[in-house]
Amino acid sequence: MEQIELVKILLKNSYINFLLGAGTSYNKVEGKMNFPLMGDLLNFIKEDVKVLEFYNSLKKDTTIPVGLGDMLASLYDEYLFSPDANIEKFLSVLEGVDLYIVDIDFRNTVEEQRNYIRRLIRDRLNNSDEDTVINNYISFYNGLKKVKEVNGLKNQIFNIFTTNYDMMNEMAMESQNIHYYSGFEGIVNRKFNLAYYNYDFVDTFQVNHANVKVIPNHMNLFKIHGSLSWCMKEGELIERNPYEEKFLPEIIYPSVDKFKNTNLIISYSALMREFSNRLCQEHTTLFVSGMSMGDEHINKIIENALTINTFHMVIFCATSDEIIKLQEKYKAYRNVIVMERTYKFCDVADLMQNL
């Protein structure tokens, strides 16, 4: 059976989930600042003058407690400047190092460096040109609306999981009048509330009314690595408009240090638990786009789901090298489909429109 035909069958006969990575927001356009891939973001940070100045000072600054400068420099070498470096792993390690720093002044210095890097990430994403990718996202979500209509799935809620911090999913859905829930409730003080992911949203509701009409275009958005719109206020995770006021966004990554912030780690754990629960339902399909599949925590959850016979994963790759790599990675699994032609996110959006 051709892959496209199998995709059509899965869309019609299973619970639908999408996992969108950095590649979905990447679209290089001449003369415009594109959203970065994770590798681009890593290079942007490690080439920053102030980051390099801090790194070079670690072995020279005589005010740093003995041994701590060398230890921290070695972490930069391994997690920021090595060929297989990863920005989220680097930030995770940089936060966890607090457990080994007794000197308060140096701990504050390291925290300033962490916050500076978070500002770099915030500003790089906020300065990215939304016009480079917004039409791809709009086309994608209109395609999902069409999939629902064509396959009689108006009452099924599609779950969109993303590791991206940007606001492109929200902007696209709002521009197309798609109702979505992203984890927060309230207007003035928008607080994280996981419970609403399990609610149905209806057009009308009357007590004892037998035929409740579920809103057909509702979708759930899970930003499992945080967002430009998230911040901590008095120990609570809240949502703010990232375009109105400058603040440090919460980028979530597994870190020992994060356990000091109970509410944030609870939120992160809850989101990952939802990811696991949604995938482990019978007759579920996960469509993946823009992901390198290099996140160990996400991979563990997917591997657990792959033990379920009725679970399927369909992966869209942007390059031929990625296709070969992931075909090899998942060659033992009959319920994994690595699409045999390359698909950028705009191609995935077109595919959803034309199935």
How confident is the prediction along the chain (355 residues), in pLDDT tens digits per residue? 699 999 999 999 999 999 999 999 999 999 999 999 988 999 999 999 999 999 999 988 878 888 888 989 999 999 999 998 888 788 888 877 877 888 899 889 999 998 899 899 999 999 999 999 999 999 999 999 999 988 888 788 999 999 999 999 999 999 999 999 999 988 888 998 888 887 766 666 555 555 555 566 789 999 999 999 998 888 888 998 887 767 888 876 655 444 455 567 778 888 999 999 999 999 999 999 999 898 888 999 999 999 999 999 999 999 999 999 999 999 999 999 999 999 999 999 999 988 8
Instruction: In the chain, count H helices and then E strands.
Output: 12, 15
Cβ neighbours around 57 below 10 Å, total: 14
Token readout for 105 is: 């002044």
The beta strand positions in 112-265, using DSSP E, are: 158-162, 180-181, 184-185, 190-192, 202-204, 213-214, 219-223, 226-227, 230-233, 236-239, 250-251
Distance CA 35, CA 22 (A): 8
Tell me how many degrees the CA angle 301-5-326 measures, rounded to the nearest 5. 40
Nearest C-alpha neighbor of 241 from the set 193, 202, 190, 286: 190
Distance CA 304, CA 333 (A): 12
- Whose tokens are 């609870």? That residue is 266
